[in-house]
Structure 1
Amino acid sequence: MELEREKGITIKSHAIQMEYVRGGENYTLNLIDTPGHVDFSYEVSRAIASCEGALLVVDASQGIQAQTISNLYLALGHDLEVIPVLNKIDMEAAMIDEVKDQIVELLGCKPEEILAASGKTGLGVEAILEAIIDRIPPPKGDETAPLQALIFDSVFNQFRGIIAYFRVFNGTLRTGDRVKFFNSGSEYTADEIGVLKLRMHPRERIAAGDVGYIISGIKTSADVKVGDTITHVDSPAAEAITGFEDVKPMVFAGLYPVDSDEFEDLRSSLEKLRLNDASLTFEPESSLALGFGFRCGFLGLLHMEIIQERLYREFDMDVITTVPNVSYRVQTTKGETVEVHNPSGLPSPTEIARIEEPYILAQIITKSDYLGNVLKLCIDKRGVMKNQTFITQDRVEVNFEMPLSEIVFDFYDKLKSISRGYASFDYHRIDYRESKLAKLDILLNGEPVDALSSLIYHEHAYSFGRKMCEKLKELIPRQQFDIAIQAAIGAKIIARETVKALRKDVTAKCYGGDISRKRKLLEKQKKGKKRMRQIGNVEVPQQAFLAVLKMD
């Protein structure tokens, strides 16, 4: 992806098959490259569910990162054979011995088991391929058993329909076979099957242990679900493969088309994008300010940014994004529990007994020079420190429990700034806890703009409302009438700014003469402005919705 090259990160897992000859014997290696960032951990979990072993690649110039540790625990949880690899050893800043000690401490392996390599020069790559053959067990599976193939990814091709990528655990699949998907029950003919190399290579037969693709003219995206099992129609398998759990979105935001006529185009674009990114969830919703759109669930703020960018680049869809928020749990006075993904869905204040918000356990690894700044940032974000461990003399790991809503906005950017890019950050959700939250509404000329409302910690509400009003005053263009921008909690207005009206100098023609002539003209103008305000509409520019995300 050109987006991956621009940002210098991996966004999508990529599967590939390669042949390797050793001692006159041919070996087939099925490899999959996964992202490292916490927002794409679902891609990693899917890859790990379909593998036998993993290469733990550590940068010799950076050392172990927080996401390295979290992905390692995922791999160990699936009993995968882990081969530690030290990469970028050709760089001047490489700290080979120090990083080797870190890996030994983390994995409990012997120093000689760690392979040193350089992707740039190709040094040590042969040794890695040898180690894969020697240390990682070959896939188990019975070629004669009923077909069980796990779908781990899919892409949409406008000429050939949906192409599903799968790994065969048991049985054999041939071109022309009738297959069905366990989850949806849909039946199709395997028009073309093959393996994934640099390009797709068609094959007549794919057996247990192989990874490949299937094209069967599927047009409905709901039929192909990542984690589903493919089996034969004639002799189906008794049960589906226990794939991977459904994704739990962390951050919710509304996506609306800039032009309301493009609603159906946005729906089909999101469905095609979900084939390629199974961690995206969405459902239709409507807003008074923005019309019809979708409530989307993302794994994090970077994930949201990438989805928005991919919609624009791959499907030419320009969208407006509302303020991102997390899901809250509301206990009502009747004893019911309501999940709220959107501040506008909050019950009335008289019905709320308490509001609970999701908490996370954040794991931060940083250089000890920046520890003070990192601790201050976490405490400002309502974090509670659990423990602190020195990994080496100048690298420290800190664990904090903090509300998820506090890291949604700009936590990661600030963390990178104060640590000069050295801190790495990873988190996972722990539970819901009671919190004192207030619903902050933004009113334009007395009308609430539901797309800008947010649930916020009560102590931060005043300063956030004040900043919102000031920011909107800068961004909303002046009209022929005064626009009142107000921040309110319930019926109480906590901040106000006014965008002054554009005024024509009506007294310009009155040079000299009685003041009452000027007064008469000004009064007439004032009445016109008042009438205009009653019928006038305030257009909120798209930058206003985006500016809220970037507010300090």
Structure 2
Amino acid sequence: IVPVINKIDLPSAHPELVKKEIEDVIGIDAEDALLTSAKEGIGIEEVLEAIVSRIPPPKGDENKPLKALIFGSFYDNYKGAISFVRVVDGIVKPGMRIKMFSTGKVFEVTEVGMFRPNLYPVEELKAGEVGYIAASIKNVKDTRVGDTITDADNPADSPLPGYKEVVPMVFCGIYPADGQDYENLKEALEKLQLNDASLVFEPDTSAALGFGFRCGFLGLLHMEIVQERLEREYNLNLVTTAPSVIYKVYKTNGEVLDLDNPTKMPPLTQIDHIEEPIVEATIMVPTEYVGAVMELCQDRRGTYLGMEYLEQTRVLLKYEMPLNEIIYDFFDALKSRTRGYASFDYELKGYKESNLVKLDILINGELVDALSMIVHKDKAYEKARKIVEKLKENIPRHLFEIPIQAAIGSKIIARETV
């Protein structure tokens, strides 16, 4: 790791204090940390020299059969799907026939090149080099991130290890506001999935929203980025449902169901118990906001694990919390209570049994499946009250009464009338 401290040209810059923080928080020696300012061009040459001198060179043999790892890709309307690769062994050049290990499909290379920073064609890519390969690949699914490219005429014995399979943690439904955009949305998701192997999606239908997709994400930030890119880059007008997590539903007949969509929850009479994912949350916060953050965590069903003072002004709080309580607005609430100074991280710890119920929303007596959610029984009334009040504000008035009801099973727990 080469520590680099940027923005040293700012009046509020304190490089020596930041060096100490790097040593205290990250635990690496910051004595030789490079001081830079990208804006003023200070220390840029030193960073490049440090990369050359401190980071070991890549290993590889250009005489062995070709092995290249795909780490990214994008679709070009003229050249087809272009793969970003790291050549581990061998050489790749235009005119070669290459084979994808995962699909076995063979393509002829039309262009290879490097990033400078734009695509810059070269005669060949050798072992240890990073660049791109264009081979008139029509289908984006043929250039999956983590796949290995080899020489079709002299193939390697085995593929590279690739990347660890990622498991989506947060799910939500994404539907086009205009039903005619369904195919455009499908195409956009496939193109995004090209260089984002962690994005998963499957077709879904809703009585209220029509045809769309149930999408899985690594977390909230990932979900927001994908939604933003779909709207900005592909000019799609989207409707998204409330995010959900994967629950484990243990049925009375011994069957275990992984539930990522509240509408698929079996009847209460068939459920023995439900388990929800639990995470270990780590929150770094200035000392003056510790009380407000602890109150927020307790309110979200958090279990206090410990507190550690990193320095006089900074504290590390550890809580065990249900993932369900984090995915809605926890991060926004944390930032507002700490004026943006808190940093938050979490990792999945496992599953724990919990008293969960399915909350349904009925408008004019009709169940709206897109608004269903799974909540803790103790918080069901509070959540139901907020939803029906919000819907009352947003649904336009008519010449007749429209009841908005929130129900658990057949029991109505909250109601408003438009």
CA displacement, residues 358-401 of structure 1 (integer Å, 9 cap, x when unaligned): 11111111111111111111111111122211111101111111
Indicate whether 1:335 and 2:254 are aligned: yes
Name the structure 1 match of 2:290. 371
Contact 1:155 1:162 in 2 (8 A): yes
Q: Which of 367, 391, 401 matches 1:448?
A: 367
Name the structure 2 match of 1:287. 206
CA distance in 1, matches of 2:261, 2:307: 35
Indicate whether 1:459 and 2:378 are aligned: yes
Tell me by how many angstroms 1:227 deviates.
0.6
Contact 1:141 1:170 in 2 (8 A): yes
Name the structure 2 match of 1:9. none
Indicate whether 1:410 and 2:329 are aligned: yes
Tell me by how many angstroms 1:168 deviates.
0.6
Indicate whether 1:249 and 2:168 are aligned: yes
Name the structure 2 match of 1:79. none
Tell me by how many angstroms 1:111 deviates.
4.3
Tell me by how many angstroms 1:109 deviates.
4.3
Contact 1:357 1:433 in 2 (8 A): yes
Q: Which of 300, 304, 329 matches 1:381?
A: 300
Tell me by how many angstroms 1:108 deviates.
4.7
Name the structure 2 match of 1:433. 352
Q: Which of 252, 270, 275 matches 1:351?
A: 270
CA distance in 2, matches of 1:98, 1:395: 13
Indicate whether 1:98 and 2:17 are aligned: yes
CA distance in 1, matches of 2:359, 2:25: 45
CA distance in 1, matches of 2:14, 2:354: 45
Residue 260 to residue 113, structure 1, CA distance change in 2 (3 Å) = same
CA distance in 2, matches of 1:117, 1:200: 27
Residue 438 to residue 475, structure 1, CA distance change in 2 (3 Å) = same
CA displacement, residues 404-424 of structure 1 (integer Å, 9 cap, x when unaligned): 111101111111111111111
Q: Which of 114, 118, 133 matches 1:199?
A: 118
Q: Which of 91, 112, 133 matches 1:172?
A: 91
CA distance in 1, matches of 2:301, 2:415: 27
Contact 1:179 1:189 in 2 (8 A): yes
The amino acid across from 1:404 in the alignment is: L
Name the structure 1 match of 2:68. 149
Find the residue that maps to 2:370 and give its secondary structure: helix
CA displacement, residues 324-343 of structure 1 (integer Å, 9 cap, x when unaligned): 11111111111111100110
Larger radius of gyration: 1
The amino acid across from 1:250 in the alignment is: M
Contact 2:145 2:196 in 1 (8 A): no
Tell me by how many angstroms 1:170 deviates.
0.8
Contact 1:156 1:276 in 2 (8 A): no
The amino acid across from 2:47 in the alignment is: I
Name the structure 2 match of 1:39. none
Indicate whether 1:215 and 2:122 are aligned: no
CA displacement, residues 43-64 of structure 1 (integer Å, 9 cap, x when unaligned): xxxxxxxxxxxxxxxxxxxxxx
User: Between Structure 1 and Structure 2, which shows a larger proportion of strand residues?
Assistant: 2
The amino acid across from 2:81 in the alignment is: I
In structure 2, list runs of 5 or more residues that go unmatched: none
CA displacement, residues 267-321 of structure 1 (integer Å, 9 cap, x when unaligned): 1111112113332211001111111110011222232222222112211211111
Name the structure 1 match of 2:52. 133
The amino acid across from 1:168 in the alignment is: V
Name the structure 2 match of 1:305. 224
Contact 1:440 1:461 in 2 (8 A): yes
Contact 1:362 1:428 in 2 (8 A): yes
| 1:116-127 equivalences in 2 (<5 Å) | 116-127=35-46
Aligned residues: 418
TM-score normalised over the length of structure 2: 0.97
User: Greater CA deviation, 274-283 or 143-152?
Assistant: 274-283
Find the residue that maps to 2:31 and give its secondary structure: helix
Contact 1:257 1:266 in 2 (8 A): yes
Residue 346 to residue 108, structure 1, CA distance change in 2 (3 Å) = closer
Find the residue that maps to 2:163 and give its secondary structure: coil
Tell me by how many angstroms 1:323 deviates.
1.1
Name the structure 2 match of 1:66. none
CA distance in 1, matches of 2:415, 2:25: 54
Q: Which of 391, 413, 417 matches 1:494?
A: 413
User: Percent of counterpart pairs with the same letter?
Assistant: 52
Find the residue that maps to 1:112 and give its secondary structure: coil
Find the residue that maps to 2:245 and give its secondary structure: coil
RMSD of aligned C-alpha atoms?
A: 1.4
Find the residue that maps to 2:311 and give its secondary structure: coil
Name the structure 2 match of 1:394. 313
Name the structure 1 match of 2:342. 423
Indicate whether 1:182 and 2:96 are aligned: no
Name the structure 2 match of 1:113. 32
Find the residue that maps to 2:70 and give its secondary structure: strand
CA distance in 2, matches of 1:109, 1:349: 53
User: Greater CA deviation, 170-179 or 270-279?
Assistant: 270-279
User: Greater CA deviation, 125-134 or 387-396?
Assistant: 125-134
Find the residue that maps to 1:493 and give its secondary structure: strand
Indicate whether 1:235 and 2:150 are aligned: no
Find the residue that maps to 1:488 and give its secondary structure: strand
Tell me by how many angstroms 1:430 deviates.
1.4
The amino acid across from 2:15 in the alignment is: I
Contact 2:112 2:131 in 1 (8 A): yes
Name the structure 1 match of 2:235. 316
TM-score normalised over the length of structure 1: 0.74
Contact 2:278 2:351 in 1 (8 A): yes
User: Between Structure 1 and Structure 2, which shows a larger proportion of helix residues?
Assistant: 1
Tell me by how many angstroms 1:110 deviates.
4.0
Tell me by how many angstroms 1:107 deviates.
5.1
Name the structure 1 match of 2:187. 268
